[in-house]
Structure 1
Amino acid sequence: MVDYEVTVYTGDRAYATTVNPVHIKLVGTEGESARTWLSSWVIFRGAVSTYTVSCPKSLGRLVLIELDKRQFRLMFGDAWFPDKVEIKSPERDIYTFPIYCWISDRETHCFREGKALRMFDESNSLGRNARKQELSQRSVDYAWELFSVGLPYIIKADGPTSLPDEVQFSFTKRTEFVFTAMTGLAELRLKGLVDNQENWQNLDDINDVFHYKETPLSNYVQEHWKEDWLFAYQFLNGVNPNMIRRCKTLPNNFPVTEDMVSIPNGSNLSNELKQGNIYLCDFKNLNGMPANTVQGKQQYLTAPLVLLHKRPNDKLMPIAIQLKQTPAEDNPIFLPTDSDNDWLTAKIFVKGANFTEHQLNVHLLRTHLLAEVFAVSLLRNLPMVHPLYKLLIPHTRYTLHINELSRARLTGPTGVFTKFGASGGETLTKFLARSQSLITYRSLCIPDDIADRDLQDLPNFYYRDDGLQLWTIIFKFVQGVIQHYYKSDDEVQRDSELQTWIRDIFEHGFLSQSQSGIPPSFMTVPELTKFTTMVMFTCSCQHAAVNSGQYDYGGWMPNTPTTLQRAPPTKKGTTSKSTILETLPPINVTAQGMASAWLLSQPSSDFVPLGHYPEEHFTEEIPRQLQKDFKAELDELSIKINNRNEGLEIRYTYLDPKNIENSIAI
């Protein structure tokens, strides 16, 4: 007889304990053990328990283990969360089997040894059959479903609780999320704001919506939101840094003339255009979009054009705003020299358009929905033993659950966005489909995107500065891992599972639109490296950049109105403080919008920062060392960002690595 020393690591998380008997079977190249009961009545959370499995002879090289959890008669069933199993063989070899999932049923679950393998690395039928069976089951558990024509596919599910256990929120995450949502709404109800459909009579009264829910920046925005420099600053470092681009020639539909704008130091518009000091934000994607009806009242959306000028002191300032795309007598170009109320009203309509562009295109579509596609395709097409699965699975944590919650509570028929947003309802899917048709691969890769928008030298653009450094660090890490497993382009081409993964993304995420530039297959190691970098960046850094500041900039509603109740002015001199109050959302809509922004800006206590890998999917020395090097570089960047921020009036913290979650989990 020979003995195998089996050490079981149970996760240190709520409800990971089991009182049910657990059995294990070891399977190797030379045979398999008997199904063995791990002789413990209770396996506690966080426990490290060692057992002995005896076999008549050596099993050869261990390939997989089988785990099952049954229950005694009259005993209740429970879920168990093992992290990993380590086995010491009679030959003194150590085998590690990563698990990191809930086992809650009475079925037998198969787990592979931790060394990363491609399909063509499998040297025996045991491994080949195991990965085929795993993917066969995953294709059922993670099926595609059409959300709406022209939009990325989503996971087929009947709400978040119908998702497989392994992708649902932890108990901690679920409890904290529900508590934050309920306490926010309870406060609003106690103040009588939830059902109050009256307009605000005074802007200062908005401060009482969430008296104790504020951030230093939300307070700062409340104080300075009317100022032109802060209006412009938000196109660089606010929640939507993806609109602005350099303007060398004015669009034909934006007839700003030399005599309209005042340029300091004796310069003029033509000269500043040539010098590259003029920038444009064009909301043309909103052109023609019908606005929602909120509480029986027609709302209004505009598709503005905004011209900005970089001053000699490097500060960006708005110099002209046109609220609709087609020049006309009833579509005036508003200027800083107009009355305070006219100019503020024009900026408010821009902020309303920016809310829609940000929430639906930049935030929902380009991070949440694309991340869902990346996650579902990963789970359907790459087994746990595949190196790309091990690399990317930490960056899918909670994404499917939060997206299902979003569809139920935000964008569904009774969701907050549908009921209270100007772009809710019919407009939501129309705008998303238009935005989807315009997505390009280059726009998802920050170095290409910055180059295409010609923003390489725009001062005070911290999203760009931090984002480019993060991209470089992620790229280096990804390149190291991929080049460790793929020594040639031929190996990339031969990896059938990898090719199925990208083809699934191309077809279900980008709807087979070749003009997007998304590759339908991988031909080279550099192609695979760049695409994988984009996936990691999108699921962590880009989401942090467009999500984390929602309450900072939206906690003061006039700075980020979810909807507007009056039509845009068609003539100068027709606005007043009264018309501005009538234009902004009513009291209950304001309260709902601020509550949602607060909820979506609160990370949970089980937040996992970028570069931290508490789940050890890689077991080999080289990729584990690459992970350590990755974290070290991120730590260095965090120090640099903090040092830079010390001298800033507004600290840009959203892309500080310690504030970036590894995945889209909120």
Structure 2
Amino acid sequence: MPYLRRINTTSTKTYSSRTLLFLENDGTLRPLAIELSLPHPDGDQFGCISKVYTPSSQGVESSIWQLAKAYVNVNDSGHHQLISHWLKTHAVIEPFVIAANRQLSVLHPIHKLLHPHFRETMNANAIAREVLTNAGGIIEETVFPAKFSMEWSSVMYKNWVFPEQALPVDLIKRGMAVEDPKSSHSVRLLIEDYPYAADGLEIWSAIKIWVKEYCSFYYKNDEMVQNDSELQSWWKELREEGHGDKKDEPWWPKMQTCEELIESSTIIIWLSSAYHAAINYGQYSIGGYVPNRPSISLHFMPEEGTPEYEELKTYPDKAFLKTFTPQLQTLLGMASIEILSRHPIDELYLGQRGTPEWTTDANMLQASEDFRKKLEGIEKRIIKMNKDEKLKNRVGPAKIPYTLLYPSSEPGLTGKGIPNSVNI
């Protein structure tokens, strides 16, 4: 928690948090306790100062529990925007785009495969650096790390591992799945009713089948991959310059086999499309009403015997609003995530192409059409699952269905749809 000491010197005050959840027999998760921690005043070597809060529905204890949950949301909001969203999609995809445009001709098969998934990414990132992630920009104004936002993102990049961005690998690493060759996706979910994972594995599998069929058409064996000078130059520049800080990491695929090409291309497409969609397009529905998911806290938890504690007992709503929803940051945050959550009229979704005749290879045109139809089938299955009352996590207590991995969408603020690329 070393960053907490720095953050606490600003006007923003928050905790490091941990939440203990209990998996019920019906597949739902029930919070049992929240631990809020602060750095020890005498130094990090003394650990941290922590306090545990448990659920309550009556009196001031109920208000305390609501505050504790809000502090968890503050942490989650910052991590979501800076790490899950900005770092793991916008930032890490950019080097793939730059190196591909420098090293792969427009006629190269891998350029044709990945081109839709690079659409408008550079433009979106340039705008983000001007108004969102810049010093004094909207991100610094609206999430708890404030001026340390990009520093936090940079520190977290040190833990970024490209092969671990594959959805099955990510789920296993996070303890949400285990390897199981007998399962349809070679992994078995430990929480079966986990909509992001269940829908995501269907999308991941469809992408990988499409990529494998495509790459196998142009690369009949490993030797063809090794002898493709443009492909090798792309991967070399990507590693040594694009992600130069990690050029010596042993986990980088060597790009010497068809399997490495297929897996790497699948990860790139997944991050650019489905993963970004799941991270980005539900932001307004969750955080558009800021008290539901605050991103900044201005005060610490009130201690018993203080005026703040008495105010919480007497005017709990007022105390909550004073702690979590400063007006300027609220307006900036609401406006920003509303814009980020919208689909433009000319959006191209996963499985769609801007030009129907993007290749002269009839077999690949048919394979592309098969991929599109497979996505339509997945969407129908998702809709059906969202109507299954046994799957309680797909709608939740608010009865709002999980739609973030619906492949298609209409324009506007829909909370669904998987665009091809990181374009907003």
Classify 1:429/1:355 alpha carbon distance in 2 versus 1 (closer, same or farther; 3 Å).
same
- How big is the shift at 1:591? 1.0
Tell me what 1:19 maps to: none
Q: Deviations over 1:167-223 (max 9, x none)?
A: xxxxxxxxxxxxxxxxxxxxxxxxxxxxxxxxxxxxxxxxxxxxxxxxxxxxxxxxx
Tell me what 1:428 maps to: 149
As a proportion of its length, which structure holds more strand? 1
Classify 1:572/1:482 alpha carbon distance in 2 versus 1 (closer, same or farther; 3 Å).
farther
Q: Given that residues 392 and 536 in structure 1 are in contact (C-alpha distance below 8 angstroms), is that contact kept between their aligned partners in structure 2?
A: yes
Tell me what 1:518 maps to: 252
Residue aligned with 1:478, SS? helix
- How big is the shift at 1:515? 4.3
Tell me what 2:266 maps to: 533
- How big is the shift at 1:369? 1.0
Identify which of structures 1 and 2 has the higher relative contact order when contacts are C-alpha pairs closer than 8 Å and 6+ apart: 2
Letter in 2 for 1:619: T
Q: Given that residues 38 and 49 in structure 2 are in contact (C-alpha distance below 8 angstroms), is that contact kept between their aligned partners in structure 1?
A: no
Q: Deviations over 1:373-408 (max 9, x none)?
A: 221111111111110000000111111111111111
Q: Given that residues 35 and 50 in structure 2 are in contact (C-alpha distance below 8 angstroms), is that contact kept between their aligned partners in structure 1?
A: yes
My pick for the range that moved more, 364-373 or 542-551, is 364-373
Classify 1:435/1:330 alpha carbon distance in 2 versus 1 (closer, same or farther; 3 Å).
closer
CA–CA separation in structure 2 for the residues paired with 1:490 and 1:629: 28
Tell me what 1:308 maps to: 21
Letter in 2 for 1:438: N
Unaligned runs of at least 5 residues, structure 2: 41-46, 177-188, 389-394, 409-416
Q: What does 1:50-89 align with in structure 2 at a 5 Å threshold?
A: none
Q: Given that residues 394 and 662 in structure 1 are in contact (C-alpha distance below 8 angstroms), is that contact kept between their aligned partners in structure 2?
A: yes
Classify 1:593/1:498 alpha carbon distance in 2 versus 1 (closer, same or farther; 3 Å).
same
Unaligned runs of at least 5 residues, structure 1: 1-283
Q: Given that residues 323 and 568 in structure 1 are in contact (C-alpha distance below 8 angstroms), is that contact kept between their aligned partners in structure 2?
A: no
My pick for the range that moved more, 405-414 or 384-393, is 405-414
CA–CA separation in structure 2 for the residues paired with 1:429 and 1:396: 23
Residue in structure 1 matching 2:219, options 486, 495, 499: 486
Tell me what 1:320 maps to: 33
Letter in 2 for 1:313: D
- How big is the shift at 1:509? 2.6
Residues 1:336 and 2:94 are matched in the alignment: no
Classify 1:548/1:289 alpha carbon distance in 2 versus 1 (closer, same or farther; 3 Å).
farther
Residues 1:660 and 2:393 are matched in the alignment: no
Residue aligned with 1:657, SS? coil
Residue in structure 2 matching 1:447, options 162, 168, 173: 168
Tell me what 2:325 maps to: 585
Q: Given that residues 310 and 316 in structure 1 are in contact (C-alpha distance below 8 angstroms), is that contact kept between their aligned partners in structure 2?
A: yes
Q: Deviations over 1:587-637 (max 9, x none)?
A: 121111101111111110001111011223322112111111111111111
Q: What does 1:516-665 align with in structure 2 at a 5 Å threshold?
A: 517-519=251-253, 521-569=254-302, 575=309, 576=312, 577=316, 578-615=318-355, 616-647=357-388, 648=395, 649-658=399-408, 659-665=417-423
Classify 1:329/1:537 alpha carbon distance in 2 versus 1 (closer, same or farther; 3 Å).
closer
Tell me what 1:73 maps to: none
- How big is the shift at 1:513? 5.0
Classify 1:467/1:325 alpha carbon distance in 2 versus 1 (closer, same or farther; 3 Å).
farther
CA–CA separation in structure 1 for the residues paired with 2:363 and 2:375: 18
Q: Deviations over 1:123-170 (max 9, x none)?
A: xxxxxxxxxxxxxxxxxxxxxxxxxxxxxxxxxxxxxxxxxxxxxxxx
Tell me what 2:198 maps to: 465
Tell me what 2:12 maps to: 299
- How big is the shift at 1:525? 0.6
Q: Given that residues 297 and 324 in structure 2 are in contact (C-alpha distance below 8 angstroms), is that contact kept between their aligned partners in structure 1?
A: yes
Letter in 1 for 2:269: M
Q: Given that residues 331 and 571 in structure 1 are in contact (C-alpha distance below 8 angstroms), is that contact kept between their aligned partners in structure 2?
A: no
Classify 1:491/1:312 alpha carbon distance in 2 versus 1 (closer, same or farther; 3 Å).
same
TM superposition score normalised by structure 2: 0.83
Q: Deviations over 1:64-88 (max 9, x none)?
A: xxxxxxxxxxxxxxxxxxxxxxxxx
My pick for the range that moved more, 402-411 or 502-511, is 502-511
Residue aligned with 2:371, SS? helix
As a proportion of its length, which structure holds more helix? 2
Tell me what 1:390 maps to: 112
Letter in 2 for 1:657: P
Residues 1:509 and 2:249 are matched in the alignment: no
CA–CA separation in structure 1 for the residues paired with 2:231 and 2:111: 10
CA–CA separation in structure 2 for the residues paired with 1:572 and 1:411: 41
Q: What does 1:151-190 align with in structure 2 at a 5 Å threshold?
A: none
CA–CA separation in structure 1 for the residues paired with 2:360 and 2:9: 52
Tell me what 1:381 maps to: 103
Residue aligned with 1:451, SS? helix
Tell me what 1:220 maps to: none
Classify 1:463/1:487 alpha carbon distance in 2 versus 1 (closer, same or farther; 3 Å).
same
Residue aligned with 2:246, SS? coil
CA–CA separation in structure 2 for the residues paired with 1:323 and 1:392: 43
Q: Deviations over 1:221-240 (max 9, x none)?
A: xxxxxxxxxxxxxxxxxxxx
CA–CA separation in structure 2 for the residues paired with 1:329 and 1:628: 56
Classify 1:568/1:433 alpha carbon distance in 2 versus 1 (closer, same or farther; 3 Å).
farther
TM superposition score normalised by structure 1: 0.54
Letter in 1 for 2:322: E
CA–CA separation in structure 1 for the residues paired with 2:305 and 2:18: 17
Classify 1:289/1:313 alpha carbon distance in 2 versus 1 (closer, same or farther; 3 Å).
farther
Residue in structure 1 matching 2:74, options 341, 352, 364: 352
Q: Given that residues 306 and 322 in structure 1 are in contact (C-alpha distance below 8 angstroms), is that contact kept between their aligned partners in structure 2?
A: yes
Aligned sequence identity (%): 29
Letter in 1 for 2:7: P
My pick for the range that moved more, 609-618 or 360-369, is 609-618
Q: Given that residues 299 and 565 in structure 1 are in contact (C-alpha distance below 8 angstroms), is that contact kept between their aligned partners in structure 2?
A: yes
Classify 1:302/1:330 alpha carbon distance in 2 versus 1 (closer, same or farther; 3 Å).
closer
Q: Given that residues 349 and 568 in structure 1 are in contact (C-alpha distance below 8 angstroms), is that contact kept between their aligned partners in structure 2?
A: no
My pick for the range that moved more, 407-416 or 589-598, is 407-416
- How big is the shift at 1:460? 2.3
CA–CA separation in structure 2 for the residues paired with 1:372 and 1:287: 29
4+ residue stretches of structure 1 with deviation over 3 A?
Answer: 284-289, 325-330, 513-516, 568-575
- How big is the shift at 1:570? 6.2
Classify 1:336/1:501 alpha carbon distance in 2 versus 1 (closer, same or farther; 3 Å).
same
Q: Deviations over 1:15-53 (max 9, x none)?
A: xxxxxxxxxxxxxxxxxxxxxxxxxxxxxxxxxxxxxxx
CA–CA separation in structure 1 for the residues paired with 2:114 and 2:2: 32
